[in-house]
Structure 1
């Protein structure tokens, strides 16, 4: 299966349906799609890039929620959805207006979806990763001409980048029954960055 374009409804719906067809139901979903943050100050806003980033980073989550929730509501067995935002949804930085706005939006979508579906036992939460060692972060370091040793302490109280596995652990907890009384909230997997 080729990688779907999550900004297109006609590609998102067929992405969800086969899961239900193969496994009989949908009980957990994780919405995680993003493109590299923009780099221009607002007076130099690139409208085409703004539209592309918003389509993937925000609309993609909204469309995924739309089709996932339809299945969960029809099944009437509850479930857990985890959206992936970013520390930028809580602590903005200059020259990234589109990215910051989209990640704030993901947090808002999470809260609305949680409120709309609380009576159905459908929990909707969010994970906000900080500086995680991914290809996107490494590309950003190259663009800035910096190294992890230089940049890590500025983004982490633990003086290092996080790993995808560490974010996955937070996501797994939200997906599990161990978090059965948690909905509409965000876990910050950011080594304390948003607390400082």
Structure 2
């Protein structure tokens, strides 16, 4: 396969799992939602990565795994302790897997999206009574929400031969949100 970012010659996997962030302070978080969110966002990513690594090791051709984290893994917000914990965990798992599998030519990286215009984000805006126009400047130095294809492009680049010397890192696709 070839795209404008470079060729992709190794096996690739992208792990993207997320539930809507929780909405209660740490002293009051919903334990049932905690378990559900951690199960999907963290355990789901871990299990996918486990079996992807096993397959890539078996094939012996190297590979690239991209885990989707979040800016919340780097710049937490109040009232979403489970989501922040899960996305911090994804970043940590990415680093461990990169350390363990680099000698096998398997690169493991993550992408930390900022505010991306998805149904999940639109639902959160509705829930809290914000419009995209008034809230985007708080989450983006570019005064807009990102588009899903922009996260896909970051993932494609990490999967491509153009990123062949990159492993164990996170690309912040967040319009400068974590730079503040």
TM-score interval, normalised by the smaller of the two chains: over 0.9
SS, match of residue 157 in structure 1: coil
Match of 2:80 among 69, 75, 96: 96
Distance 1:32 1:70 in 2: 19
Matches within 5 A, 1:48-59: 48-59=32-43
2:48 aligned with 1:64:
yes
Q: Flag structure 1 segments of 5+ consecutive residues without an equivalent.
A: 1-25
2:106 aligned with 1:122:
yes
Matches within 5 A, 1:6-21: none
Displacement of 1:155 in angstroms is 0.3
Displacement of 1:42 in angstroms is 1.2
2:62 aligned with 1:78:
yes
What is the TM-score with the length of structure 1 in the denominator?
Answer: 0.86
Displacement of 1:31 in angstroms is 0.1
Distance 1:45 1:152 in 2: 26
How many residues were matched structurally?
A: 171
- Aligned alpha-carbon RMSD (Å): 0.7
What is residue 5 of structure 2 aligned with on the other side? none
Distance 1:99 1:45 in 2: 11
2:32 aligned with 1:40:
no
Match of 1:170 among 132, 154, 160: 154
Distance 1:64 1:36 in 2: 20
Displacement of 1:43 in angstroms is 1.4
SS, match of residue 135 in structure 2: helix
2:119 aligned with 1:140:
no
What is residue 4 of structure 1 aligned with on the other side? none
CA deviation vs aligned residue, 1:13-55 (integer Å, no higher than 9, x gap): xxxxxxxxxxxxx810000011110000011111000000000
What is residue 21 of structure 1 aligned with on the other side? none
